[in-house]
């Protein structure tokens, strides 16, 4: 690649230019941008409401009903479009939970080291060993299955991963001369964490956060498919798949379209995340 230096900090345009050198990342970004627009405008794009009944049952795709009609007469296109908003929200909330707790714990562990580090990271190891489906089952048993509880389960299991990324980045940063320089002007620990550490570990966190958005959406779909997440008639993509599974042989289109949306969304987040990683890590620029 020709670009040898990073753009000036804070230059969004410069960042976009660098990203533009990676077609796959730009594709991911374009798809995600469209999905966001779709999510924001969903009620205006969707010709029907989520639980509107139309003429007919189990109709294959047609011009009037692009994705067909489901087993009780609802327009699948409308439901998938409305589901976009739900799925993106799930991703953001779940990753938000992981990010908030994971970064806090990881930075504290990396910054203070010693027993603080040992205590935090051992707890993280335990949480890390927990499969999210199992945690979701536990939460569902205790609080009842719901989309919110699914989000919490997905958010919790990913805390250790964010903690590890944040800790590793913090460990590399605290050693740098400018952190010592900040100490030399009398800056306190909270101030150093806020002003020196956090801004300088943002890169890997953005990359990991982007990659995680796709994973979280996929995980939420899995939970809903298993009946542990969004409950019918919520048009969440996983819930749509759950409802469609009985008709897999007779009306495959009911599974195909929600599945396609999950697939494309997760793929786009992964492509964008990989692109961002290449962009932010000069070593992997080839």
Partner 1 sequence: MSAAPVAARPAPAAPLLAVRGLKLRFDTRRGVVRALDGVSFEVAPGECVGLVGETGCGKSITARAVMGLVPAPGRIEGGEIRLDGRDLMALPAEEWRAVRGSQVAMIFQEPKRALDPTATVGSQIVEAAMLARRIDRAEAKRLALDTLRQVGLADPERIMRTYAFELSGGMAQRAMIAIAVVGGSRLIIADEPTSSLDVSIQAQILRLLQDLRRRLGSALILITHDLGVAAENCDRIVVMYAGQIVEQAPARELFRAPAHPYTERLLRSLPRPGRDALSPIPGTVPDLIDPAPGCRFANRCERAGPDCAATPAMSEIGRRHFVACYRPVRPT
Q: Identify the sign of the CA torsion 34, 280, 218, 253.
A: positive
Shortest spacing between CB 2 and partner 1, in angstroms: 19
The mark string for 5-44 relative to partner 1 (x by CB under 8 A, - otherwise) is ---xx-----------------------------------
Smallest distance, partner 1 to C-beta of residue 200, A: 6
x-or-dash pattern for partner 1, window 81-120, by CB under 8 A?
Answer: --------------------------------xx------
Calpha distance 125→276 (Å, rounded):
27
Q: Looking at 41, 57, 119, 178, which residue binds partner 1 (CB under 8 A)?
A: 178
> DSSP states of 190-221 as a string?
HHHIIIIIHHHHHHHHHHHHHHHHHHHHHHHH
How many Å is the Cα radius of gyration of the chain?
A: 22
The dihedral through the CA atoms of 65, 70, 71, 73 has a sign that is: negative
Count of residues near partner 1 by CB under 8 A: 21
Contact 236, 147 (CB under 8 A): yes
Residue 69: helix, strand or coil by DSSP?
strand
| Nearest distance, CB of residue 157 and partner 1, angstroms | 31
Q: Residue for token digits 């899995």?
A: 222
Regarding 196 and contact with partner 1 (CB under 8 A), the answer is yes
The first and second tokens of residue 271, run together, are 């492509």
Q: Does 263 bind partner 1 (CB under 8 A)?
A: no
* Residue 281 binds to partner 1 (criterion: CB under 8 A): no
142 binds partner 1 (CB under 8 A): no
Which residues of this protein are in contact with partner 1, per CB under 8 A? 8-9, 113-114, 176-178, 180-188, 195-196, 199-200, 202
């Amino acid at each position: 690649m020709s670009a040898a230096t990073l753009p000036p900090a804070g230059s969004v345009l410069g960042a976009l230019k660098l990203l533009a050198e990676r077609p796959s990342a730009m594709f991911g970004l374009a798809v995600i941008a469209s999905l966001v627009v779709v999510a924001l405008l969903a009620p205006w794009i969707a010709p029907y409401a989520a639980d509107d009944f139309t003429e007919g049952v189990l109709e294959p795709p047609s011009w009037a009903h692009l994705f067909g009609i489901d087993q009780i007469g609802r327009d699948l296109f409308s439901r998938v479009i409305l589901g976009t908003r739900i799925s993106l929200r799930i991703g953001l909330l779940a990753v938000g939970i992981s990010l908030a707790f994971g970064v806090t714990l990881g930075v504290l562990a990396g910054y203070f080291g010693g027993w603080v580090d040992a205590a935090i990271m051992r707890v993280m190891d335990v949480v890390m060993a927990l499969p999210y489906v199992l945690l979701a089952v536990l939460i569902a048993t205790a609080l009842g299955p719901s989309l919110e509880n699914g989000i919490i389960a997905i958010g919790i299991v990913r805390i250790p991963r964010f903690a590890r990324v944040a800790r590793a980045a913090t460990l590399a940063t605290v050693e740098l001369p400018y952190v010592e320089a900040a100490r030399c002007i009398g800056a306190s620990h909270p101030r150093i964490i806020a002003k020196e550490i956090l801004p300088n570990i943002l890169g890997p966190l953005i990359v990991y956060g982007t990659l995680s958005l796709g994973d979280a959406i996929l995980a939420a779909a899995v939970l809903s498919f298993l009946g542990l997440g969004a409950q019918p008639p919520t048009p969440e993509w996983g819930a749509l798949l759950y409802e469609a599974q009985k008709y897999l042989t007779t009306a495959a289109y009911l599974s195909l379209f929600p599945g396609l949306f999950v697939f494309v969304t997760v793929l786009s987040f992964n492509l964008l995340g990989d692109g961002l990683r290449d962009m932010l890590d000069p070593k992997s620029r080839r």
